[in-house]
Amino acid sequence: MQRTDSMRIGKLIMLVAIGLCLSAQSLIAGNPDRQGEAGAVELLFNPWARSAGMHTMNTSFITGAESMRLNVAGLARTNKTEILLAHTTLFEGSTLGINALSFAQRVGKTGVLGISLVSVDFGDIEVTTENTPEGTGATFSPNFFHLGIGYAKTFANKVSVGFLVRAISESTADLGAFGIALDAGVQYVTGENDNFKFGISLRNIGSPMKFSGDGLSFRTGNPGGDTDFDLTVSQRAARYELPSVLNIGLSYDFLVGETVRLTPLANFTSNAFAKDQIGAGLEFAFKEMFMARVGYKYDMGETLEGVSDNVYSGLAAGVTIEVPFKKDGESKFAVDYAYRSTNPFSGTHNFTVSFKM
């Protein structure tokens, strides 16, 4: 009976992994000539401090509500209910920030439903014109907003499979674009204490987006010149692709007694419109109440002339303090912080507060 279950699990892993890799091959198809051509790059920003502290490379063992930003399969590892609130100071030295809310709820014995809201805060940007290049005194702020709904399910307590649909809205007062992106992922755990973990995720697969609205119209003179009158001309905006990403990662938990856990990880990221990346990290946990982590990510391949490297590479680090707030020991409150080096600017700071019930 156990052999039959193992064979079924193995077949399920192979089918999902092959499906994701084949989809990645046709949809991502890494091409260095496409560097810098994608839009909606905010889809690659990670607002959650716990995973950001490992440079968003914990594809194999990420769990809970924050999984919807990296590998939605980890959503299935939610115990019962989880709520996350986060704020990110994006690219220290700029005025950019990210606010995020994520909610996960177990549905039945093996399924978990999740909802994720992410908003980019641009601050107040001065309005400039050709006649007043130093500013008119007015300001505006673009609205970049994502709503994701995901579902993940565990099979035989070894394999988790998840899918997510994300609505993408980018707009100003007179211009806007809307799109839909799909994520999919799988995680596999094995070993005496589920020590070994393997994960694959495919993110941001969707149709191209395109801006439209009154902001693309302008008034110009009569091109014929015989009669003096103005015309309203509408410009055509170019379509842009979503920044599709494939992540493949593995990790192993080394348990020292009943109090200490050391988890090294390795991860490969294939970017459709940027250089591929490899990286490694390490997480230390004491009684699963205090955790510290560090990660290093490296860009692979040559950089095209005039195109910059990935903004996130090099070092990242973070810490977590998680304590129970009820006698049952399963209801927990946690505070997470992470720092990620960036090029350019002076890094990104992530803060997350979570409630597990």
> How many other CB atoms are there within 10 angstroms of residue 348's CB atom?
26
CB 184 within 8 A of CB 145: no
Residue bearing the bigger pLDDT, 250 or 24: 250
Token output for 242: 């979503």
pLDDT value, residue 136: 86
240: which DSSP letter? B
pTM: 0.87
Residue 333 within any structural domain of the chain: no
SS3 259: coil
pLDDT value, residue 278: 95
Residue 295 within any structural domain of the chain: no
**Bond from prior residue into 142 cis (ω within 30 degrees of 0):** no
* pLDDT band per the 50, 70, 90 thresholds, residue 29: very low
Residue 326 within any structural domain of the chain: no
Residue 63 above 80 pLDDT? yes
Residue 103 above 90 pLDDT? yes
Domain that holds residue 108: 2-132+139-253
Query: What is the chain's mean pLDDT, rounded?
Result: 87
Residue 351 within any structural domain of the chain: no
Q: Evaluate the CA torsion angle 103, 63, 5, 330 in order and state its sign.
A: negative
Residue 74 within any structural domain of the chain: yes
Residue 30 above 90 pLDDT? no
Tell me which residue of 206, 199, 198, 197 sits closest to 164, measured CA to CA: 206
Give the model confidence (pLDDT) of 249-307 as tens digits.
999 999 999 899 999 999 999 988 888 899 999 999 999 999 999 999 998 876 656 55
For 271, counting Cβ atoms within 10 Å of its Cβ (0-12 exposed, 13-18 middle, 19+ buried), the class is: buried
CB 145 within 8 A of CB 108: no
Q: For the ranges 130-134, 197-201, 346-350, which has the lowest average pLDDT?
A: 130-134
Query: What is the C-alpha separation between 234 and 219, in angstroms, rounded?
Result: 9
Residue 88 within any structural domain of the chain: yes
Residue bearing the bigger pLDDT, 9 or 288: 288
Query: What is the C-alpha separation between 78 and 57, in angstroms, rounded?
Result: 19
Distance between terminal CA atoms of the chain? Answer: 35
Residue 269 within any structural domain of the chain: no
pLDDT value, residue 18: 54
Residue bearing the bigger pLDDT, 307 or 177: 177
CB 150 within 8 A of CB 163: yes
Residue 293 within any structural domain of the chain: no
Tell me which residue of 278, 301, 356 sits closest to 324, measured CA to CA: 356
pLDDT value, residue 262: 98
Contacts of 345 (CB under 8 A, 6+ apart): 91, 92, 93, 94
Q: Please give the tally of structural domains in the chain.
A: 1
* pLDDT band per the 50, 70, 90 thresholds, residue 37: confident
Question: Could you write out the DSSP letters of every residue in 299-326?
Answer: E-SPPPTT----SEEEEEEEEEEEEE-S
CB 338 within 8 A of CB 316: yes
Question: Could you write out the DSSP letters of every residue in 65-118?
Answer: GGGGGT-GGGGGG--SEEEEEEEEE-SBTBS-EEEEEEEEEEETTTEEEEEEEE
Query: What is the C-alpha separation between 312 and 306, in angstroms, rounded?
Result: 18
Residue 83 above 90 pLDDT? yes
